[in-house]
Amino acid sequence: MTDLDVQRDALPLTGVQDLGPLLDRIGEASFVLVGEASHGTHGFYAWRAELTRRLIAERGFGFVGVEGDWPDCERVHRAVTSDTDPFEALYGFRRWPTSMWGNLLAAVARTAPTDESGLGVRQHAEALAGAERYYRAMVRGGPESWNVRDVHMADTMARLAEFHDPKGVVWAHNTHIGDARATDMAAAGMTSLGQLARERHGDDAVLVGFGTYRGTVVAGDQWGAQHHVMPIPPARPASLEALLHELISAVRRSAGRPRPDLSLGSSSADPSCSPGTGHHPLTSSEAVADPPALPTAAAPLH
């Protein structure tokens, strides 16, 4: 993707109606993986929730899989498929990711299949087996511990599709839902959920990343530390976010208008790029940050 490609293909994203071209791009695909450049940023979650609502209502998607611990997610699932107290389910999260759920319950509430115990038992067993592989790989070092996690996510997505519905939305960080082959992850021997989805499902999987030029993120200085608001440095020059920011700024200046609020409500980020994919470097951070650098950090095994 060149700078000219960005100028030619970029579309405005100012309201829910602007998601139409993205739904056209998704077409009849069965899996839509929707990312976020940072955990804990309202703007990404708001847009992701709106896209998910439309996929459920207009395209018949039947499940939402998220980057989270299985027992906690299972409680949220019960809350949307039965009379379990949603507040209790959401605030029962012990580790990860309490900030993800704000707009999910109303979007996915539906009648649950009747024999879910079989899926739950198998998934708990798979998580335990995966955890053993993960921690053994951590001791050895190298990329394998990351690969264990993303292969586990891809396998879980397939099990959810087999049990619940063949069409599903997956919420996770850009680093997971992106295709590792388009980044320096590939040279390091790392794979990703997005790469595995494309290898296993081809055009039946669509990857949607979200980015920002600047803003703030809720994060901790290390795992387990108290979280607080941290500034996100401006996007790196020549990154997709920077190019889109420059394009939007130029368009707004030529029209004599100020920069619009693209956040679907109050947001701590400047989501000045439309959803899409590309080969420009993407600014990325997870829930542990040390400004002004933006390292990625391993989340708990899911």
Q: For the segment 21-41, what is each residue's pLDDT rounded down to a tens digit?
A: 999 999 999 999 999 988 877
Query: What's residue 290's pLDDT?
Result: 38
Lowest mean pLDDT among 36-40, 243-247, 283-287: 283-287
pLDDT level of residue 286 (50, 70, 90 thresholds): very low
Q: Would you say residue 17 has pLDDT above 60? A: yes
Q: Span 51-76, mean pLDDT? A: 89
Is the model more confident about 259 or about 12?
A: 12
**HEC readout, the chain:** CCHHHHHHHCCCCCCHHHHHHHHHHHCCCCEEEECCCCCCCHHHHHHHHHHHHHHHHHHCCCEEEECCCHHHHHHHHHHHHCCCCHHHHHCCCCCCCHHHCCCCHHHHCCCCCCCHHHHHHHHHHHHHHHHHHHHHHHHHCCCHHHHHHHHHHHHHHHHHHHHCCCCEEEECCHHHHCCHHHCCCCCCCCCCHHHHHHHHHHHHEEEEECCCCCEEEEEECCCCCCCEEEEECCCCCCCHHHHHHHHHHHHHHHCCCCCCCCCCCCCCECCCCCCECCCCCCCCCCCECECCECCCCCCCCC
Task: Give 301's pLDDT tier (boundaries 50, 70, 90).
Answer: very low
Domain boundaries, the chain: 3-254
Q: List Cβ neighbours of 143 (8 Å cut-off, separation of 6 or more).
A: 188, 189, 190
Computed over every residue of the chain, the mean pLDDT equals 76
Instruction: Give the tens place of pLDDT for each residue, 110-135.
Output: 434 455 557 777 776 777 777 778 77
- The pLDDT value given to residue 93: 65
How high is the pLDDT of residue 57? 94
Q: Which pLDDT does position 67 carry in this prediction?
A: 87
Q: Render the burial of 99-138: b for 16+ CB within 10 Å, e for the rest.
A: ebbebbeebbeeeeeeeeeebeeebeeebeebbebbeebe
Sequence letter at residue 87? F
In this predicted structure, the answer to whether residue 202 has a pLDDT above a threshold of 50 is: yes
The CA distance from 209 to 294, in Å, is: 17
* pLDDT tens-place string over residues 129-159: 777 787 788 778 889 999 999 999 999 999 9
Q: Where is pLDDT greater, at 126 or 205?
A: 205
The pLDDT, as a whole number, for residue 1 is 64
Question: Which of the following CATH numbers is that of domain 3-254: 3.40.1660, 1.10.10, 3.40.50, 3.30.160?
Answer: 3.40.1660
pLDDT of residue 161: 92
Res 200: pLDDT: 97
Token pair in block for residue 54: 């439309």
